[in-house]
């Protein structure tokens, strides 16, 4: 790696979240000659990015930030975090928009359409602050046609300047973000086909200097925008497909692990994302499926919309099914019983709890009158997050939910221990030594993704361990 080479390019990234932070850290690490500034309106988040206590947990991230931000290995720092948004925009050659695109809460399309308000506000900031033409990169996941909307915002607010708008959706997965960024399956760049846009696309491609050329895929803008949505929807669909089959397994005596293994041996199907579970979570899958449903509906493709809507319906169904099985294993009532939840993050190796299955399951269990103990290797240190996640449920949540910083204490007096996030720690430290669990575990087993403690507990597929205090 070249050290102390003069800076040749400046990138500004609007949005210092799960995408903006790790993506820019890796770009800065791989391109010592590019100065990367990540900006955000959220002063607390930026202060955390500047500290040793980063706002997000991602394996490998802090080491990269230390080197690029602080220059700890003697190289010139080239990663900066700031709330001075206009200044960063003014100086940048390339501007990434990596802001949140949640589901709209009100107005036309509420409950399904993507809220593009944050994207638009970032575009307005750029139009107001950029002194000259810039390359604008959509990193956020957006409905197809968003680049066109950006173009019309720039045309009305900054008619004298001509911005090149590119789509470059991010495919990283939380928990493996650094690995995904360093070794991406593909980097997708969508652009118009005119010379100026193609030259901008080449300039953006040069930022991904470490990615083999054949993994950089160029498409038109619409294809790039839709391909990102499509990828997430297909991944969510696969999870819902295997979960729907787990319900049939339970009713028939088939074993979902055996079924999944058998079908995965077909090379056309493969083995990824075929593990039954309590349902998918995270900030993306549900809202991206909803976004696709909205797009289909607005194109009057109602059968298509219904097809994708079912992916989310099955996901909700699976979470309820999980809770029902727990209630049934505990003799039909949870009143005054203590249940322990292992895992609050929506997946392992992240502290992100957005749309975590644990939240829905906890809410349904609490509605049955139980008390909860929660332990998560990452999230327990931030108990307030867990209470915030449950704040819609009722006023006495803090009396009925206790957050523990270790798994063993969390299990004391519990009549059920539910594993809702597949942290390796649960498999290797906790379940490998079942003496750490409460005594008298029942031998309840199921053929679904909701495996309960059995004589030969299948740790990799175990989703729930039930200790029945009344057995
Ligand atoms: P996030 O909520 O973690 O971060 C977004 C950040 O943007 C926030 O810190 C917010 O304060 C900031 N922001 C919003 N409007 C702003 C503005 N006008 N100026 C400055 N800052 C502003 O979101 P995220 O998880 O990083 O996702 C960002 C986008 O990337 C979304 O479209 C998402 O769908 C997509 N995406 C997410 C993931 C993921 O795993 N989280 C993966 C791929 C793609």
Ligand 1 within 6 A of 140 CB? yes
* Residue 241 DSSP SS3: helix
pLDDT tens-digit series, residues 67-119 = 999 998 889 999 999 999 999 999 999 999 999 999 999 999 999 999 999 99
Distance in Å, CA 340 to ligand 1 centroid: 32
Taking each helix axis from N to C terminus, what angle separates 221-252 and 302-329, rounded to the nearest 10 degrees? 40
Residue 228 marked ligand-binding: yes
Lowest model confidence (mean pLDDT) among 79-83, 118-122, 323-327, 455-459: 455-459
Q: Select from 12, 13, 14, 15 the residue to mutate for testing ligand 1; criterion: most ligand atoms less than 8 Å from CB.
A: 15
Taking 50 as the threshold, does the pLDDT of residue 461 lie above it? no
Distance in Å, CA 101 to ligand 1 centroid: 7
Ligand 1 within 6 A of 337 CB? no
Ligand 1 within 6 A of 172 CB? yes
Phi, psi of 288 (to 5 degrees): -75, -35
* Residue 166 DSSP SS3: strand
Question: Is 411 among the residues known to form the active site?
Answer: no
Residue 348 marked ligand-binding: no
Taking 60 as the threshold, does the pLDDT of residue 467 lie above it? no
pLDDT tens-digit series, residues 179-227 = 999 999 999 999 999 999 999 999 999 999 999 999 999 999 999 999 9
For atom 42 of ligand 1, the residue with the nearest CA is: 172
Q: What is the pLDDT of residue 1?
A: 45
Q: What is the pLDDT of residue 100?
A: 98
Q: What is the pLDDT of residue 425?
A: 82
Strand bridging mode 416-419 / 464-465: antiparallel
Residues 344 and 379 sit within 8 Å (Cβ to Cβ): yes
Residue 349's region, left for phi above 0, alpha for psi from -120 to 50, else beta, is left
Distance in Å, CA 277 to ligand 1 centroid: 27
For atom 17 of ligand 1, the residue with the nearest CA is: 122
Q: Select from 26, 96, 100, 286 the residue to mutate for testing ligand 1; criterion: most ligand atoms less than 8 Å from CB.
A: 100
Q: What is the pLDDT of residue 158?
A: 95
Lowest model confidence (mean pLDDT) among 78-92, 275-289, 391-405, 428-442: 428-442
Lowest model confidence (mean pLDDT) among 223-232, 421-430, 456-465: 456-465
Ligand 1 within 6 A of 20 CB? yes
Q: What is the pLDDT of residue 434?
A: 52
Strand bridging mode 79-82 / 94-97: unpaired
229-240 mean pLDDT: 98
Taking 80 as the threshold, does the pLDDT of residue 447 lie above it? no
Domains of the chain with CATH codes = 9-219 (3.40.50.720), 253-471 (3.40.50.720)
Ligand 1 within 6 A of 146 CB? no
Tell me which of 451 and 393 has the higher pLDDT: 393
Ligand 1 within 6 A of 187 CB? no
Taking 60 as the threshold, does the pLDDT of residue 435 lie above it? no
Distance in Å, CA 414 to ligand 1 centroid: 38
Tokens 């390339």 correspond to 94
Active-site residue identified among 24, 233, 284, 411:
284
392-400 mean pLDDT: 87
Q: What is the pLDDT of residue 437?
A: 53
Residue 149 marked ligand-binding: no
Residue 40 marked ligand-binding: yes
320-344 mean pLDDT: 94
160-181 mean pLDDT: 97
9-26 mean pLDDT: 98
For the beta carbon of residue 229, count every other beta carbon within 10 angstroms. 21
Ligand 1 within 6 A of 55 CB? no
| Token representation of residue 370 | 């139980």
Tell me how many degrees the CA angle 211-213-214 measures, rounded to the nearest 5.
110
Distance in Å, CA 256 to ligand 1 centroid: 36
Ligand 1 within 6 A of 100 CB? yes
Whether pTM > 0.95 for this model: the answer is: no
Q: Which residues pair with 37 in a beta bridge?
A: 12, 80
Taking 70 as the threshold, does the pLDDT of residue 463 lie above it? no
Distance in Å, CA 374 to ligand 1 centroid: 27
Mean pLDDT, rounded, of the chain: 90
Q: What is the pLDDT of residue 445?
A: 30
pLDDT tens-digit series, residues 274-294 = 999 999 999 999 999 999 999
ipTM for the predicted complex comes to 0.99
């Amino acid at each position: 790696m070249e050290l102390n080479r003069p800076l040749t390019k400046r990138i500004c990234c609007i949005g210092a979240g799960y995408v903006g932070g790790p993506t820019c850290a890796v770009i800065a690490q791989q391109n010592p000659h590019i100065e990367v500034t990540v900006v955000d309106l959220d002063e607390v988040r930026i202060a955390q990015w500047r500290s040793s206590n980063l706002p997000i947990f991602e394996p490998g991230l802090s080491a990269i930030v230390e080197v690029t931000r602080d220059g700890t290995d003697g190289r010139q720092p080239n990663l900066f975090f700031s709330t001075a948004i206009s200044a960063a925009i003014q100086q940048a050659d390339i501007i990434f928009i990596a802001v949140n695109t949640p589901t709209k809460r009100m107005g036309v399309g509420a409950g399904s359409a993507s809220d593009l308000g944050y994207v638009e506000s970032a575009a307005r900031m750029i139009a107001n602050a950029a002194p000259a033409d810039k390359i604008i990169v959509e990193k956020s996941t957006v409905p197809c046609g968003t680049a066109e909307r950006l173009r019309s915002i720039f045309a009305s607010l900054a008619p004298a300047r001509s911005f090149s708008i590119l789509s470059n959706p991010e495919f990283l997965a939380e928990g493996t973000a650094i690995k995904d960024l360093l070794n991406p399956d593909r980097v997708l760049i969508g652009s118009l086909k005119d010379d100026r846009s193609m030259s901008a696309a080449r300039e953006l491609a040069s930022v991904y200097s470490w990615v083999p050329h054949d993994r950089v895929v160029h498409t038109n803008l619409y294809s790039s925008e839709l391909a990102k949505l499509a990828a997430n929807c297909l991944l969510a669909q696969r999870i819902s497909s295997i979960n729907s089959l787990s319900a049939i397994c339970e009713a028939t005596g088939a074993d979902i692990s055996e079924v999944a293994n058998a079908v995965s041996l077909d090379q056309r199907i493969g083995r990824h994302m075929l593990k039954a579970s309590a349902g998918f979570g995270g900030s993306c899958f549900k809202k991206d499926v909803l976004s696709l449903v909205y797009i289909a509906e607005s194109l009057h493709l109602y059968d298509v919309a219904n097809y994708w809507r079912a992916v989310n319906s099955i996901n909700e169904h699976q979470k309820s099914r999980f809770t029902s099985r727990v209630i049934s294993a505990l003799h039909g009532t949870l009143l005054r019983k203590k249940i322990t939840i292992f895992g609050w993050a929506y997946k392992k190796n992240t502290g992100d709890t957005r749309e975590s299955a644990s939240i829905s399951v906890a809410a349904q269990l609490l509605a049955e009158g139980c008390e909860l103990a929660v332990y998560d290797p990452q999230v327990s240190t931030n108990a307030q997050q867990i209470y915030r996640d449950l704040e819609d449920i009722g006023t006495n949540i803090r009396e009925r939910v206790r957050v523990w910083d270790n798994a063993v204490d969390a299990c004391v007096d519990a009549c059920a221990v539910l594993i809702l996030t597949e942290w390796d720690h649960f498999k290797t430290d906790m379940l490998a030594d079942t003496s750490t669990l409460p005594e008298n575990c029942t031998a309840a087993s199921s053929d679904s993704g909701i495996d309960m403690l059995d004589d030969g507990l299948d740790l990799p597929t175990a989703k729930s361990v039930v200790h029945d205090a009344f057995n």
